[in-house]
Amino acid sequence: MEILFELLRSRGISGDESETKNLILNYIHKRKDAWKVCPDIFSGDELQDCIILKFGKPRTAVFAHIDTIGFMTRYQNQLVAVGGPDFGDSTIVVGEDSLGSIKCTVREVDGNLEHDFPRKTDIGTCLSYYQDIRIDEEFIQAAYLDNRLGVYNCLKLAENLENGWIVFSTYEEHGGGSVPFLLKFIQSNSPIRQALVSDITWITEGVSHHEGVVISVRDRNIPRRSFINKVIGLARESGIPFQLEVEGSGGSDGREIQNSEYAIDWCFIGAAEDNVHSPNEKVSLKDLDSMLKMYQYLMAKL
């Protein structure tokens, strides 16, 4: 799990994912020769800060976004949100500008976000939650489990994957923007008609810790039912614990797959967390385990 800890400690708020990109790319280059199939690796300016891996002859693509929510400094001590951070009273954030390291507290005053760093920061400095990783026998708790766990799931999946695309996307937390060009790339290289979204969802009145990975029937977007039914059928066959989710809100890279120029069915599959978009996101280790197993099973069978 060392790479998971490194991912959790790396900063990569939407639009500023290069540090996280480099971490993932270095890991891939170090490990790929030990994987069952050594993938083709696509990265570089023509893919911005995204990475694409091609294993064998793909039938399905897995998407995991590598960006996180956070904050950006404005004028004086104002902050603007990146994505939808959700925190209690005051919360510690960290970052760096041309004058050095920043560590301070963010709070909401009359609906506006403010920080209390004593000096003026560079306009547009990105600030992330201070990271505090907590693990016990049942749970992992940290900032940014969404979507460091989804990325981790893809890196574990890569070890034994024979056929498939693994796609590391950017901007997901703040309106998206990379999935359209990523899809164009994979569809012109080796087209597929199925996609899975490796991301983290919510504990709700119908989704509990320890009950298995969540297969989402819908969120704000509704994927095609016949594909969802196919995925659920295979999940039943697998014997791996899973739960079904039906939500009216929330989104993922699935939204951009749905709205793309390609007829690609998609399904969101991921562990559920408490304390969404806070520094204290909390996921059951058992659910993470069934997420890892479910992706391996589905990518072989779909």
C-alpha distances in Å from residue 50, one per residue of 60, 83, 112, 115, 284: 18, 18, 32, 31, 28
Q: Does 192 bind a copy of itself (CB under 8 A)?
A: no
CB of residue 37 vs a copy of itself: minimum separation in angstroms? 26
Q: Does 94 bind a copy of itself (CB under 8 A)?
A: no
CB of residue 114 vs a copy of itself: minimum separation in angstroms? 13
Q: Does 72 bind a copy of itself (CB under 8 A)?
A: yes
Q: Does 98 bind a copy of itself (CB under 8 A)?
A: no
Total binding residues toward a copy of itself, as defined by CB under 8 A: 57
Q: Does 109 bind a copy of itself (CB under 8 A)?
A: no
Nearer to a copy of itself, 83 or 149 (CB): 83
Region of 139 on the Ramachandran plot (φ > 0 left; ψ -120 to 50 alpha; else beta): beta
Does 112 sit behind a cis peptide bond, omega within 30 degrees of 0 on the bond before it? no
Q: Which of 7, 49, 62, 253 binds a copy of itself (CB under 8 A)?
A: 49
Residues 194-253 that bind a copy of itself (CB under 8 A): 204-206, 217-218, 220-226, 228, 244, 246-248
Interatomic CA distance for residues 50 and 66, integer angstroms: 8
Nearer to a copy of itself, 48 or 141 (CB): 48
Selected range binding a copy of itself among 41-49, 134-142, 154-162, 195-203, rule: CB under 8 A: 41-49
CB of residue 239 vs a copy of itself: minimum separation in angstroms? 19
Interatomic CA distance for residues 168 and 291, integer angstroms: 17
Interatomic CA distance for residues 121 and 281, integer angstroms: 28
The residues of the shown chain that bind a copy of itself, judged by CB under 8 A, are 14-16, 18, 45-49, 72-76, 80-82, 123-124, 126, 170-171, 174-178, 180-181, 183-184, 193, 204-206, 217-218, 220-226, 228, 244, 246-248, 256, 258-263, 265
